[in-house]
Amino acid sequence: MSVCTSAKEAREAVPSTRHESVTVFASEVPGFRFEVSPPDTVSLQWSGEGSAVVTDIYVSSGQEIQEGDTLFQFLEDLRLVEMERLSMELDMASAMLPSDTLLQEKVDSLTLLLDSLLSNERTPYLSPLEGTATGILIAADQRIRPGNVVAEISVASSELFLVFPPTDCTVNFWPAGGSGIRFVEERPGYAIYSGELPAIEARFSELMTVPRFAVYESELESYVITADHDTIPVFRAGEKDNNLVIILPSEPITSDLLTWTEK
């Protein structure tokens, strides 16, 4: 789990002045159970951070698809809002440039950021598995929300695995896929993944529990802080024994985590 230095504002958000700091350890979450699933029809869902509009559809019902094929493209609301914000900021900086040449660096930086967003404005949706598309449940220009089903796929040859959490663990957000594995579908009480079982087991070994007060929120991001004062982005996945379950980055943390308790 890699150790990253935080942005300045993230450090300033830590309420250290009126609290007593306490070091804690991140603990692994044992007890996840993995079962092989027979061929099945699975539902693919949109799992972006917010609403999006369907811009392109590349698959039709009855079509054979391979893992990693681009099935759809979406324009996310968050990306559109960010482009509008950068565009307004660029217009303001450009208007002030004749009277303040020091703004040239800011104008150049904003231009590069906006160009990058414009060239990659659409988010591709990649198939998490091999199979046959049995139903396309969205249409061009349709607005969708997280959790909406976008397609159904009949799986005949890919091996799927059902992942069940420990009895004392609640998973609110299942880990995304990674190297060699893909998240396929959430069902009541468990999730379906495709890929090799060792890789899936390794992905779930990255889940850790930490005290609630060790996790801080900054807009849409969560992070923990080490005793060495490094800030590490994390993904909140669920709860276990009144602690938070988080997914840490892929390299080991070399320092204890900090938490704060009321004096």
46/30 Cα distance (integer angstroms):
29
Task: Give the per-residue pLDDT at 53.
Answer: 87
Query: Using CA atoms in the order 217, 218, 220, 223, what is the torsion angle rounded to 10 degrees?
Result: -60
Task: Give the per-residue pLDDT at 58.
Answer: 95
Task: Give the per-residue pLDDT at 220.
Answer: 67
Task: Give the per-residue pLDDT at 138.
Answer: 94
Task: Give the per-residue pLDDT at 31.
Answer: 92
Domain definitions of the chain by residue range: 8-31+206-262, 40-156
Task: Give the per-residue pLDDT at 15.
Answer: 47
245/250 Cα distance (integer angstroms):
16
Question: Are 8-31+206-262 and 40-156 the same fold in CATH?
Answer: no
228/128 Cα distance (integer angstroms):
38
Task: Give the per-residue pLDDT at 117.
Answer: 57
Q: What is the pTM of this model?
A: 0.60
* CA distances for 117 relative to 81, 84, 96, 183, angstroms: 11, 11, 23, 26
234/222 Cα distance (integer angstroms):
6
Neighbours of 229 (CB within 10 A): 12
44/221 Cα distance (integer angstroms):
25
Q: Per-residue confidence of the chain (263 residues) as pLDDT tens digits?
A: 333 434 444 444 444 444 577 777 788 898 999 998 887 888 998 887 788 889 899 999 999 999 889 999 898 887 776 777 777 777 777 777 777 766 777 767 767 766 665 556 788 999 988 889 999 999 998 989 988 999 999 987 667 899 999 988 999 889 887 777 888 888 899 999 988 889 999 889 889 888 888 888 776 678 888 888 888 888 889 999 888 998 876 666 667 888 766 54
Fold of 8-31+206-262: 2.40.420
Task: Give the per-residue pLDDT at 180.
Answer: 78
Specify the CATH architecture of the domain 40-156.
Beta Barrel (2.40)
Write the burial class of residue 37 (CB in 10 Å: 0-12 exposed, 13-18 middle, 19+ buried). middle
Task: Give the per-residue pLDDT at 12.
Answer: 46
Task: Give the per-residue pLDDT at 17.
Answer: 42
Backbone torsions φ then ψ of 204, nearest 5 degrees: -80, -15
